[in-house]
């Protein structure tokens, strides 16, 4: 009789422990989008000083279609993102989907 009680208690403990371990929640759609954006940002951390130029006195990130960018430089495209400095210099981050259309592009400054 004692052996059957021990077996019953051990099986109850094992079942309780198995239920107590939560299953990892599947990643939500928003989390997946955020992770994709984060990895996209990691890829474009290097700003290439390719000889591009901006209008003096502007500072920030601009699509090539923006008024601030005057020359996309070597290998640059108007659909790229550029980091402009107040002295008219800039560097190129590379293409961005939001800069691809000349009719609706962003960002255009800070």
Q: What angle do CA 28, 33, 37 make, to 5 degrees?
A: 145
Phi-psi region of 71 (alpha: psi -120 to 50; beta: other; left: phi over 0): beta
pTM higher than the cut 0.85: no
Tokens (6 digits) for 54:
């901006």
Contacts for 74 with CB less than 8 Å, ≥ 6 apart:
50, 51
Lowest average pLDDT, out of 14-18, 36-40, 71-75, goes to: 36-40
**For residue 40, what is the enclosing H or E element?**
helix 29-43
pLDDT higher than 90, residue 93: yes
Average pLDDT over residues 59-76: 93
pLDDT, position 42 = 47
| Cα–Cα distance, 9 to 7 (Å, whole number) | 6
């Amino acid at each position: 009789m004692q052996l059957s009680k021990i077996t019953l208690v051990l099986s109850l403990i094992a079942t309780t422990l198995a239920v107590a371990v939560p299953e990892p929640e599947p990643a939500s759609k928003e989390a997946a989008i955020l992770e994709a954006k984060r990895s996209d940002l990691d890829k474009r951390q290097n700003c290439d000083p390719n000889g591009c130029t901006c209008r003096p006195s502007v500072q920030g990130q601009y699509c090539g279609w923006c008024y601030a960018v005057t020359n996309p430089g070597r290998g640059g495209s108007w659909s790229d993102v550029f980091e402009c400095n107040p002295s008219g210099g800039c560097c190129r981050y590379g293409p961005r989907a939001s800069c691809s259309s000349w009719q609706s592009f962003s960002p255009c400054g800070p």
